[in-house]
Amino acid sequence: MIPIVKSLKLLADPTRLRLLLLLGEEELSVVELQEILGMGQSRISSHLAQLKAAKLVSDRRAGKNIYYGPAAPFEGPLKEILAASAGEIAEAAHDRAALQLIRHKRQDKVRDYFNKLAGKFGRSYCPGRSWKGFAHMLLALVGPITVADLGAGEGTFSQLLARRAKAVIAVDNSEKMVEFGSRLAREHGFANLEYRLGDIEAPPIADASVDLVLLSQALHHALNPARAIAAAHRILKPGGRIVLLDLLAHQFESARELYADLWLGFSEVQIDSLLRNGGFRDIDITVVDREAESPHFQTLFATGIK
């Protein structure tokens, strides 16, 4: 339990309240907090150290950066205090707007990487894109169904699905990927394949409208994987299935720069937790491939039912 009584003195400081309000929304690095708050690193680090000592925030290392977030969900009196503070602190609205800019900057970095790759997939190496892995995904597809391929890229897999599915909606946040994929769909005569520009955390697809959601090597590019899983749950019909193909947790830090990866894969425990917390049941997870070449990426395959 978060020691609320012992933390009242800490919560009396407006800067620490601003930090908690921000971290309750998104994990952030000290550099990002500097940009939002307009304060020096030492001042922010000092406040974070006090909040961490009070067990209100925790940190995790990702490459060269350390990200801060809640040590536990903000609940009870603390949640009420923060909710009241959001309306009383003059800078809170500015902080929320600045947080959105930080999110957009993160997305732009990933989008820029994939814009440069448009038209090159299949000829350029991308970790985890193994046909052995794709084959396992195909085994999960049965009958004339409506499929959402989230983070589809130029949609190589979407086009394979369109050969047998009733309809396929391919969603990607790269304008050039969507343009390239749409052109290929027209050239190949796929009238049942539609490309849409959008984010996997908020796909432009109606609630409860698809039978199957695919996330193929896309989740490790999500700013917030939990939001992406929740979005998949939202657009699935009751009884619909999520099929997820991603990298098993690894330590190849260069993937952040080489492939614009935001997460270095996921453990089976992490995927199970994401799916269960996202409302899925009958979850099945297995590792289906290990690449022979260094750094020996392994591919994780998971399914769940809404």
Q: What is the pLDDT of residue 288?
A: 82
Mean pLDDT of 50-59: 91
Q: Do 120 and 185 touch, CB atoms closer than 8 A?
A: no
- Which residue type is seen at 201? E
Domains of the chain: 4-117 (1.10.10.10), 131-305 (3.40.50.150)
Secondary structure of residue 71 in the 3-state scheme: coil
Least confident of 1-5, 33-37, 220-224, 256-260: 1-5
Task: Name which residue leads in pLDDT, 254 or 141.
Answer: 254
172-228 pLDDT, tens digit per residue, is: 999 999 999 999 999 989 999 999 999 999 999 999 999 999 999 999 999 999 999
Q: How far apart are CA 151 and CA 262, in angstroms?
A: 14
17-41 pLDDT, tens digit per residue, is: 999 999 999 999 998 999 889 889 9
Q: What is the pLDDT of residue 54?
A: 87
Q: What is the pLDDT of residue 139?
A: 43
User: Could you count the other beta carbons within 10 Å of the beta carbon of residue 276?
Assistant: 13
pTM summary value: 0.64
User: Could you count the other beta carbons within 10 Å of the beta carbon of residue 139?
Assistant: 10
Give all strands of the β-sheet with 193-197 in edge-to-edge order: 193-197, 167-172, 146-150, 210-216, 236-247, 298-305, 281-290
**Residues linked to residue 149 through DSSP beta bridges, in sequence order:** 170, 214
Mean pLDDT of 6-15: 79
Q: What is the pLDDT of residue 4?
A: 57
Cis amide prior to 203 (ω within 30 degrees): no
* Chain Cα centroid distance, residue 193: 24
Q: What is the pLDDT of residue 6?
A: 64
Residue 112 has pLDDT above 90, yes or no: no
Instruction: Tell me 249's DSSP state.
Output: P
